[in-house]
Amino acid sequence: VTPGPSLGAMPGIAVVAAIGLVTVAFADNAARHDGAGAQLLFWLGLALIYGPVAFRLLGRSPRRSERIALVLTLGLALFLVKVLRSPAEFVRFDEFGWWRATHEVLVTGHAFTGNQLNVSTAGYPALATLTAAVSQLSGLSIFLSGTLVIGIARVILLLALFLLLERLTGSPRAAGVGIAIYVCNSSFLYFDAQFAYESLALGLALAVLLVSLRWSESDQRPPASLTTGVGAILLILTCGLTISHHLTSLFVVLLLALWTIASLFQSRSQHHADMVRRRNGPLVPTVLTTLLVATWLIFVAGPTTHAELGAIFTGAYQSVGDLVLGTSGSKHLFTGSGKTVSQVERAVILTAVTLVLCLVVAGLIRMWRSRPVKPLSLALGIVAILYPVSLGLRLTQASSEIATRAPAFAFLGVALLAAILTASPSRRSWGTVSRHGGKLVVTALAITTFFGGFMLGELKATRQPGPYLVGAESRSVTPPGVAAADFAAHYLPTNSNMVADRTDAALFGSYGNLNPIFGSYSRISLARILLGGEFDRADKQALCGQSIAFIVVDKRLSREAPFELPLVGFYVSSHEPGAFVRTRPVTLHALEKFNSVRGISIVYRNGPITIYDTTELC
Amino acid sequence: MRPSRSDTCLFFIIGWSLLALAIGLLPIVVWARAVVWIPLVFVMPGYALIRAVLPKHSIPPLEGAVYTLAGSVSIVALTGVLLQLVLPVDRQIWAISIMAVAVIAGLAATLRRGRETATMLPLPAPILWISIQSTLTLALALGLVIGAVVLASAGARSERATFHFTELWVLPVTASLHGSLVDVGVRNHQGDAEAYVVRVNQGRILLGTSKIHLADGQLWRKQVACKGGPSTKPVTVTLLHHAKVYHYVRLERCPTPS
C-alpha cells in the first residue's frame, strides 16, 4: 500500500511550537505581576514558535502536505499567542466595539446598529451577525464565539494565501516561505488576530482572489458547468467580503483592477486577446467586485465608511502635506508619551525594515528579469511597493493610523516577492539556502524580521499583560472598570450619553450599554469637561448640548508618583487639547471637581471609578 | 450502485442538519449544542454549496476546503443580514435558516450527482497518511496547547484576584408608588467576606443605618424612603469599613415618585 501525503517532521515541530506557547503563557503570567524575565521568556516563546517552522519551510525535503501542515501550525500558534494574552475577555479597543455590535444583534435580532466605539459596525454587519449566529446556536459566550470566528478566518487566510502563492510560483516550498514572511507583517500577531472586521475580511479577501484566479485560468477551455460553479462561488464570497470590511473590499477592488490592466496589456503585447481569454480573464471578477462594493457603499455603508475612513485619510493627507511643505515637523520616531524605545529594540526594528526593503527590491528585480510575469504577480508586486510608502506614513501622527493598517495588505506583495526569490534562486544568493548553514542564517534573519515587525506594530507595554497603566489600551482594562461597566448595564438607562476616558468609554460603550460621546460641541472639546481644572459655563453648555447624562472618572489617570502620561498620547481622543504634546498628567483636582458641583450627583463609586449623574444639571 | 464518498458526505450533511435543528430548538447543555452547531455553521453550508455548483473532482481538495470555510462564513453572514431585514433573528430562526440552507444545497448536490458523468480531475481525494507515532506526537502538542491555555487562564484569574474593592451606589427609584425612594447598593469584591456599615442621610437627617456582612462577590440592596417626599436636600450614602469612611455617594435630591 502506498501511503498518502504524510506530515513529515511537522508533528515534532508542532510540539516545539506548543512548548513555545507554554513559554509564552509563563511569560505572560510573570508579566501580570511585573515579574523579572517576562519579556525575555516571551521572545523565547515566539522564537520557539516561529524559528523551527521557518527553518523547515526553507528546506527542500518536506513534501507539500507537510508544508501545508507547517503553515497552519505557524499561523494558528501565533493566533494562540494573542489568545493567551487575554484568555477570558476582549481587551483591545476595537474588540469592545464589535462586542457591542454583536450584543445588539443578540438582544434586538437586528444588524446594522452602529455604536460610538466603531461607527462602521452599522455598515459592515458580517462579523457581528456571524458571531451572533455562533453564540446563539452553540450557547457559547460572545468572547468564545468571536475567538472561534477569527480562528476560522485565520485558517482561510493561511490556506488561501498558500494556494495563491503556490499557483503563482508553481512551488509549494516558495508558498511556504512566502507565508513565513507574511506573518512578519506588523499587524499579523495582534491587530489582525483581534475580534474585529479586518481579521475576518482578510481571509475572505484571499479566498476571493483564489477563486478569481481559478476563474481567470484560460489555458484550457473549462466546461460551462465549472465556469458557472466558480462564478457562483465568486459571487457568494464577494458578497461576504463586501459586507465585512470597507478597506479590505476596496483593496481587493484595487488589486483586481491592477490585475485586469496588467493582463490586458499582456494580452495585447502577446497578441492573445481572443474572446475566450477576455471572458476568462480577471475582468469578470473585477467588474463583479467593483459593482458589489460600489453598490454597498452607495446604498448602505457610504456614510459610515466616510465617517471612519474620511477622517483618517483627510488627516493623513493634510499632515503629510504639511510635512512635505515644511509647515510642520515630523513625528519623533521611537518615542511616545515620554517613553523611549530601547537601543536594542531600535536596532531590531531597523534591521527588520531594512531586510524587508532589500527583499522587496531583490524580488522586484527578479520579477523584472524573469519576464513575462503573470499579471496577478505583477499586480501584487506593485502592492509590495506600499510597504516603503507605509513606512513614510509613520512620520506623522495623523498618517500613522494608515501605516498601522497597510502592512496586512502590502505584505501580500512582499510574501509573493519572497516566494519568487525562493522559487527561482540565483547561484549567488539563495542557492546556498539548501545547506544547513545558509538555512540557519536565513532563519535567524527571518526571526529578526518577525520580531522587528511585531515591535513596530505593538507598543512595548501592550505586548504582554501587566499592572495597570494610564491610557494604555489593553493594560488599562482592570476589574474595577469592568465592574463599573457591569453596574451601568444593570442599573443605568441603556444608551444614555456619557463622557469618559478612552478605556472607560470602551468598557461602558460595550459591557455598560451606554453611549460614549467623543469630539466636541460648538467647538468645545468634550475632553475638556473631564480634564479641565474647573467646571465652567462652557463645560455645562457642552454637557447639556450633547445630552450627556453621565460622566465617568477614573482617578488613576492622575497618578501622582510616578507621573504617568497616557501611553497612547491622549486621555479621551486624539483631537483633545494637549494630545501627544502633554508633559504633565491631569491633576486629581481636575478629576474630582464634579464632587462639589451643584446639580451633579455621585451615583456610583468603587475606589478608582466614580460615576456622576448630570441629568439634574440641565 | 454503491454511493460514492462525496454522496455519503452529502447524506451525512442532510442528516446532521436535521439533527442540529432538533438540538438547536431544545434546551440542552452548551457543549452538546456547540459540538453539533459549530460544524454546521462553519463547514456544512459551504461544503454543500460547492458540491451543488461544481462538477465532481473539478477542484483540488485543499482549494475546496478554502471555499467550504469561506463559503460557509459568507452564507451564514448573508443569511443573517437578509433575514433580519424582515424579522428579528433569534436562535430558532438561525437554526431553521441555516439547516434549510445546508439541506437545500445538500439535496441540490445529491440531484446533481445523479446526472453527472464526466469529471475534470478523476483522481480520488488523497487521504493524509499519519503514523501512530505522528498521531501520538500531535496529541502531545495538543495537550501542551491546552496546558498553555489553562496556565494563561489561571494567570489571568490570579491577576484579577489582586484587585480588592467595594462598589457603592445610590439611585433614584423613579417608578415607585410608595413615596420618594432611593435604591442603595453595595457589592463586595475584596476577595473575602467583609463587614460594612451603610449610613443614609438626607441633609442632616439620618434616614437609616444598616450593618451588613457580605461574602466575596455578594450584593446587598435596600430601598430607603426619603423624609417628607421629594426634597432639594441631597441624600448622602456613606459606607464604613473597619470603622472608617470607605466611600460615599450623593444624590442631589430625592426623586419625585411616579
**B84–A109: do the CB atoms touch at under 8 Å?**
yes
The label of the residue with cell 470603622 reads: B243
Which residues have C-beta within 8 Å of that of residue A406, sequence separation ≥ 6?
Answer: A386, A387, A389, A390, A393
* Percent of chain B's residues with pLDDT above 70: 87
CB A116 within 8 A of CB A517: yes
| pLDDT the model gives residue B233 | 85
**A233–B130: do the CB atoms touch at under 8 Å?**
no
A544 vs A430, higher pLDDT: A544
* Percent of chain A's residues with pLDDT above 90: 71
Q: pLDDT digit string (tens) for A258-268?
A: 999 998 887 66
Q: What is the number of other CB atoms lying within 10 angstroms of the CB of residue A337?
A: 21
What per-residue string of b and e applies to B159-185 under the rule 16 or more CB within 10 Å gives b?
A: bbeebebbbbbbbbbeebeeebbbbbb
Q: pLDDT digit string (tens) for B67-111?
A: 999 999 999 999 999 999 999 999 889 989 998 988 888 888 888
- Who among A15, A130, A601 is closest to B140 (CB)? A15
- For the ranges A69-73, A391-395, A434-438, A526-530, the maximum mean pLDDT occurs at A69-73
CB B110 within 8 A of CB B9: no
Average pLDDT in the A491-514 region?
96
| pLDDT the model gives residue A209 | 97
Chain A nearest-CA distance from B90, in A, is: 6
Q: pLDDT digit string (tens) for A86-124?
A: 999 999 999 999 999 999 999 999 998 888 898 889 999
Average pLDDT in the B133-159 region?
96
| pLDDT tier for residue A2 given thresholds of 50, 70 and 90 | very low
Distance, CA of A254 to chain centre:
19
| pLDDT the model gives residue B120 | 46
| pLDDT the model gives residue B122 | 46
| pLDDT the model gives residue A1 | 43
Question: How many residue contacts between A and B have a Cβ separation below 8 Å?
Answer: 305
Grid cell, residue A219, equals: 489555458
Q: pLDDT digit string (tens) for A26-52?
A: 999 999 988 889 999 999 999 999 999
| pLDDT the model gives residue B152 | 97
Beta-bridged to residue A612, according to DSSP, are A551, A602
Average pLDDT in the A292-300 region?
96
Q: pLDDT digit string (tens) for A405-428?
A: 899 999 999 999 999 999 976 555
Tell me the average pLDDT of chain A: 90
Tell me the average pLDDT of chain B: 86
The structure's pTM equals 0.92
To test the contact with chain A by mutation, choose from B74, B86, B250 the residue with the greatest count of A C-beta atoms within 10 A, namely B74
Cα A179 from Cα A74, distance rounded (Å): 9
To test the contact with chain A by mutation, choose from B29, B73, B166, B249 the residue with the greatest count of A C-beta atoms within 10 A, namely B73
**B159–A32: do the CB atoms touch at under 8 Å?**
yes
Cα A257 from Cα A240, distance rounded (Å): 19
Least confident residue range of A98-102, A574-578, B206-210, B249-253 = A574-578
**A606–B81: do the CB atoms touch at under 8 Å?**
no
Average pLDDT in the A359-375 region?
92
Beta-bridged to residue A520, according to DSSP, are A525
Cα A345 from Cα A352, distance rounded (Å): 11
Cα A162 from Cα A172, distance rounded (Å): 8
